[in-house]
Chain A
Amino acid sequence: MPSDQLSATHFVAPVKNTEITVDAVRIDAKPSNLWRDAWRDIRSRPTFWVTAVVVFVIVLMAVWPTLFTQVPPNNNCLLANSNGGPTSGHPLGFTFQGCDIWSRLVWGARTSLMVGFLATLIGTVIGVVMGALAGFYGGWLDSVLSRLGDIFFAIPYILAAIVVMSVFSQNRTPLVLAFAIGGFAWASTARVIRAEVLRVRQADFVTASRAIGLSRFRTLLTHVMPNAMAPVIVVATLTLGAAISAEATLSFLGVGLGSSTMSWGLDISQAQSSLRVAPMALIYPSIALTVTVLAFIILGELLRDALDPKARARR
């Protein structure tokens, strides 16, 4: 078309289709919602499958250790094998005490995961309840709960757990340890969910459900909480990694689990005395610990990307 026709004269595009539909509904499109979209997004990433396999294997070790090793981890330790190298049936060699390293690694996964999961569960439940109540009801309740959260935030939870475990020195079970870690690690979860609840609370659908006649508490449960949960899952995966390493740290320091339990932290602690002669006894449990913590943290990062539509658009 000639260029001078544009601004000066009247230009009309050829009419393509005679009928102009306004705001037509597309019902042929694939059904989608937040969780479905997130799953679609996350399953297309290779990193997800690598970490998923790692996590699956570690969980399998924890649930069913005999699948991986027939050697008992604690009995049959022969001092003759002390710091021995790999032999057939004992692929990673022996500890100072003459115990099979591979077997101890496999059996140690259970303790690590159990403490990790329990501590995360405890921390997340406390954090979600505190944060949701503070964010939704506001006012003096918010002030009290938020200051309480600040106090717990200010206490390093490793330090707090050391104190608690010293008090319970006669009863160092995984459950007690999980409470010691989880009971002091909820403050960041509470902060995250409080901010989310504050955001969701503003939405018109919350006001609309109040106008229907829903009570405040039911509105919180049915509309606000489900919409505030996505970041909690992300924080929980990150907390899981931190709790596992906290267990190892406490056990290493000798205030974690009793020496009769199997734990990567304990193994690292016991191996340090013979580090120069037999470094592998320290290196293997350290690798196991690192891989596990890393897997959960990467999983958390992936979930964060998948659950945040804005991050997805940027990719």
Chain B
Amino acid sequence: MTTANRTPLLSIRGLTVAFDSGKTSRQVLHGIDLDIHRGETVAIVGESGSGKSTTASAIVNLLPGTGHVTGGSIVLEGTDLTSLTQPQMERIRGRDIGFVPQDPMSNLNPVWSIGFQVKEAIRANGIATGRKEVDRRAIEVLQQAGLADAERRLHQFPHQFSGGMRQRALISIGLAADPKLLIADEPTSALDVTVQRVILDHMASLTAEKGTSVLLITHDLGLAAERADTIVVMNQGEIVESGPSREILENPQHPYTQRLVAAAPSLASQRIQARAEDRGIQHESDLATTEPAIVVTDLVKEYKIRQGSFRSERFRAVDGVSFEIPRGHTMALVGESGSGKSTIAKMVLGLEESTSGSILIDGLNVGRLTGKEAFALRRRMQPVFQDPYGSLDPLRSIGGTIAEPLEVHKVGDAKSRRARVAELLDQVSLPQELASRYPNELSGGQRQRVAIARALALKPDIVVLDEAVSALDVLVQDQILQLLADLQSELGLTYLFITHDLAVVRVVADFVSVMERGKIVEQGTVDEIFANPAEEYTRRLLDAIPGASLPLGAGAVESGA
């Protein structure tokens, strides 16, 4: 595919970038060397803060805020981009280098029609002149990006588009001028897996057809391996390893890459086992004897959607859902956005009322409790939510946050509460000194640990994890999943694990229920479902996992040590 002796399309040497804050300057890229050849797809893989997006922004000279290139060169076909003036750079952008941004929701201007924004890109790059010609070209690029009936869609506005359609529009804007290089910064991380697959397939066939080089920025090793010829692994502003995709995956040399490969959950991974193997229950034979911790029967949730002028329409978010979770085990509820999985979590937690059906927690019906009973039930069941930045009160100290459930339920006195907070911080592997600190000093993974500690404060039997690891980087996610497995075996917890990520399900769950549009389409043990999906939808979800066929995460078990 690529040969070493051809001159590369883009060649970066010794690139350093710094951000100024006040009088001090902080270097975030410490000498990046990178080549992209014609027609080649290169993926930069890294965790948040590794400098992968900064590298991409530096190429098109769109560094945010006070960021600026402090050294090195970025050479595109003989021109050093770092020495160009603003107008010269503007000619390069769009025409020679196309850019597909991360968030399809905020990168289209809501007050202009899609057609206007595509035509703007075409006109700005001088691809076509004259109204008719520009119109024709706009329809053409939108069709190429896979938008059916592009002619009609031209006059629609971003809010009338789904996330996938918006990303198609953004890709068509990025490719409007037939650039030589397309930079795609996490182009699909905000989309559902099945949509992600379609979009990436389309982007790949388009760029292959035109011979466009692609620089793909992603946090997902599987996705990078599947889509790119070359993988560049970045960590803390440096390249730690680069090479052909297969080789990086199969034979990672740098310890960081090795850990990254080992931690990436995939279909080939094993269920994470607790480090101390002392489970009371040892598999199927024991299951029959214990009653399930959670029994959900025919659960329905209807919302009224206002249609204006006093009319309202009913919408079934959850439609006749039934499942059981055996005590001490994990059931994963999987589905794409809008499938109703989070609504179920809210109803199980008693934060939302069901329209019909029943939820039994240890034989108690959640829907028919007195205030007192409901209050008591909260001690046995606690949630952990997705967003690590929103799950902790920023004005409360860590200790105060973890102790709050104890105060509300009047457990112990001030001294015993302090001791319990220290014990809980220990359990989630955080130093006890953190008790007097505030959440803004913590990373996302550490915040999730605090959220887990708060959930465990009242010694619950059941923990509802609503996308609890989805926002975390791979290595941190692996750590938290290991922690959850350890806590489960230590405390005999039952988990209801809500996620959109089937690869994560593979490593954490015993049972899985697949949801589509409010209904459970398939359920069973993880091994059964992953080996023999009976439903077309489940199969589609499994196929869509990036790098599904790759031997990722083989060492996930060892990495916990």
Chain A residues packing against B (C-beta within 8 Å): 1, 3-13, 15, 18, 20, 22-23, 25-27, 29, 31-34, 37, 202-205, 207-214, 223, 226-227, 313-315
Interfacial chain A residues near B381, Cβ < 8 Å: 211
CB neighbors of A among B425-482 (8 A): 430-431, 433-434, 436-438, 440-443, 445-446, 451, 454, 458, 475-476, 479
CB neighbors of A among B246-283 (8 A): 247-248, 251, 253-256, 259
The answer to whether B8 has its CB under 8 Å from any CB of chain A is yes
The answer to whether B35 has its CB under 8 Å from any CB of chain A is yes
- Check B242 against A213 for contact (C-beta < 8 Å): no
The answer to whether B112 has its CB under 8 Å from any CB of chain A is no
- Check B259 against A20 for contact (C-beta < 8 Å): yes
- Determine which residue in A13, A208, A315 has the highest number of CB atoms from chain B within 10 A of its CB, and name it: A208
Interfacial chain B residues near A15, Cβ < 8 Å: 254-255
- Check B383 against A208 for contact (C-beta < 8 Å): yes
CB<8 Å pairs between A and B, sample of 16: A6-B33, A10-B247, A11-B241, A22-B259, A23-B445, A31-B437, A32-B440, A33-B395, A33-B438, A34-B394, A205-B401, A208-B454, A211-B349, A212-B458, A227-B395, A315-B22
Chain B residues packing against A (C-beta within 8 Å): 2-5, 8, 11, 13, 21-22, 33-37, 40, 42, 65, 230, 238-244, 247-248, 251, 253-256, 259, 349-351, 374-375, 378-379, 381-383, 385-387, 390-396, 401, 404-405, 408-409, 430-431, 433-434, 436-438, 440-443, 445-446, 451, 454, 458, 475-476, 479
* Binding site secondary structure of chain B: mixed
A-B CB proximity, top 8 nearest: A10-B243, A33-B438, A204-B385, A8-B4, A4-B4, A204-B391, A213-B378, A12-B253
Closest Cβ of chain A: how far from B267's Cβ, in Å? 23
Interfacial chain B residues near A223, Cβ < 8 Å: 393, 396
From the candidates B34, B409, B430, name the one contacting A213 in the complex (CB within 8 A): B409
- Determine which residue in A37, A212, A313 has the highest number of CB atoms from chain B within 10 A of its CB, and name it: A212
- Check A12 against B404 for contact (C-beta < 8 Å): no
From the candidates B4, B238, B430, B431, name the one contacting A9 in the complex (CB within 8 A): B4
* Binding site secondary structure of chain A: loop
Interfacial chain A residues near B441, Cβ < 8 Å: 26, 29, 31-32
Interfacial chain A residues near B386, Cβ < 8 Å: 204
- Check A208 against B385 for contact (C-beta < 8 Å): yes
From the candidates A3, A207, A314, name the one contacting B65 in the complex (CB within 8 A): A314
- Check B405 against A212 for contact (C-beta < 8 Å): yes
- Complex: how many Å from CA A7 to CA B241? 10
Closest Cβ of chain A: how far from B509's Cβ, in Å? 22
- Check A211 against B35 for contact (C-beta < 8 Å): no
Interfacial chain B residues near A26, Cβ < 8 Å: 441
- Complex: how many Å from CA A276 to CA B294? 87
- Check A205 against B4 for contact (C-beta < 8 Å): no
Residue ID in chain A nearest B252 by CB atoms: A12
- Check A227 against B479 for contact (C-beta < 8 Å): no
Residue ID in chain B nearest A314 by CB atoms: B65
From the candidates A7, A22, A29, name the one contacting B230 in the complex (CB within 8 A): A7
- Check B434 against A25 for contact (C-beta < 8 Å): yes
Closest Cβ of chain A: how far from B303's Cβ, in Å? 15
Closest Cβ of chain A: how far from B330's Cβ, in Å? 19
- Check B440 against A227 for contact (C-beta < 8 Å): no
- Complex: how many Å from CA A216 to CA B144? 52
- Check A205 against B393 for contact (C-beta < 8 Å): yes
From the candidates B3, B21, B401, name the one contacting A8 in the complex (CB within 8 A): B3
Residue ID in chain A nearest B386 by CB atoms: A204
Closest Cβ of chain B: how far from A8's Cβ, in Å? 4
- Check B253 against A7 for contact (C-beta < 8 Å): no
Decide yes or no: A27 and B434 within 8 Å by CB, A10-B248, A11-B243, A12-B253 being known contacts. yes
- Check A207 against B242 for contact (C-beta < 8 Å): no
Residue ID in chain B nearest A28 by CB atoms: B433
Closest Cβ of chain A: how far from B157's Cβ, in Å? 25
- Complex: how many Å from CA A314 to CA B21? 9
Decide yes or no: A25 and B446 within 8 Å by CB, A20-B259, A33-B438, A223-B393 being known contacts. yes
- Check A12 against B254 for contact (C-beta < 8 Å): yes
- Complex: how many Å from CA A208 to CA B465? 12
- Complex: how many Å from CA A32 to CA B439? 9
- Complex: how many Å from CA A37 to CA B243? 43
From the candidates A29, A227, A313, A315, name the one contacting B394 in the complex (CB within 8 A): A227
- Check B395 against A34 for contact (C-beta < 8 Å): yes
Decide yes or no: A212 and B404 within 8 Å by CB, A9-B243, A34-B394 being known contacts. yes
From the candidates A1, A25, A31, A212, name the one contacting B438 in the complex (CB within 8 A): A31
Interfacial chain B residues near A205, Cβ < 8 Å: 390-393, 401
- Check A23 against B443 for contact (C-beta < 8 Å): yes
From the candidates B65, B242, B458, B479, name the one contacting A7 in the complex (CB within 8 A): B242
Interfacial chain B residues near A7, Cβ < 8 Å: 2, 4, 8, 34-37, 40, 42, 230, 242
- Complex: how many Å from CA A311 to CA B386? 27
From the candidates B244, B351, B404, B409, name the one contacting A10 in the complex (CB within 8 A): B244
- Check A33 against B440 for contact (C-beta < 8 Å): yes
From the candidates A1, A3, A33, A210, name the one contacting B11 in the complex (CB within 8 A): A3
Closest Cβ of chain B: how far from A3's Cβ, in Å? 7
- Complex: how many Å from CA A8 to CA B438? 47
- Determine which residue in A27, A203, A213 has the highest number of CB atoms from chain B within 10 A of its CB, and name it: A213
From the candidates B255, B349, B387, B479, name the one contacting A23 in the complex (CB within 8 A): B479
- Check A10 against B392 for contact (C-beta < 8 Å): no
- Check B434 against A23 for contact (C-beta < 8 Å): no
- Check B255 against A32 for contact (C-beta < 8 Å): no
Interfacial chain A residues near B446, Cβ < 8 Å: 23, 25
Interfacial chain A residues near B244, Cβ < 8 Å: 8, 10
- Complex: how many Å from CA A313 to CA B26? 13
Closest Cβ of chain B: how far from A36's Cβ, in Å? 8
- Complex: how many Å from CA A202 to CA B438? 20
- Complex: how many Å from CA A12 to CA B436? 42
- Complex: how many Å from CA A12 to CA B65? 32
Residue ID in chain B nearest A213 by CB atoms: B378
User: Assuming A22-B476, A211-B381, A213-B405, what are 18 further A-B pairs, CB within 8 angstroms?
Assistant: A6-B34, A10-B251, A13-B240, A23-B476, A25-B430, A27-B431, A29-B441, A31-B436, A32-B440, A203-B391, A204-B386, A205-B393, A207-B383, A208-B451, A212-B378, A212-B405, A212-B408, A313-B21
- Check A204 against B240 for contact (C-beta < 8 Å): no
Closest Cβ of chain B: how far from A209's Cβ, in Å? 7
- Complex: how many Å from CA A203 to CA B391? 7
Decide yes or no: A11 and B351 within 8 Å by CB, A27-B433, A29-B441, A212-B405 being known contacts. no
- Check A1 against B394 for contact (C-beta < 8 Å): no
- Check A3 against B393 for contact (C-beta < 8 Å): no
- Complex: how many Å from CA A83 to CA B403? 69
Interfacial chain A residues near B22, Cβ < 8 Å: 315
- Complex: how many Å from CA A286 to CA B383? 60
Interfacial chain B residues near A208, Cβ < 8 Å: 383, 385, 391, 451, 454
Closest Cβ of chain B: how far from A292's Cβ, in Å? 31
Interfacial chain A residues near B37, Cβ < 8 Å: 7
- Complex: how many Å from CA A32 to CA B21? 18
Interfacial chain B residues near A315, Cβ < 8 Å: 22
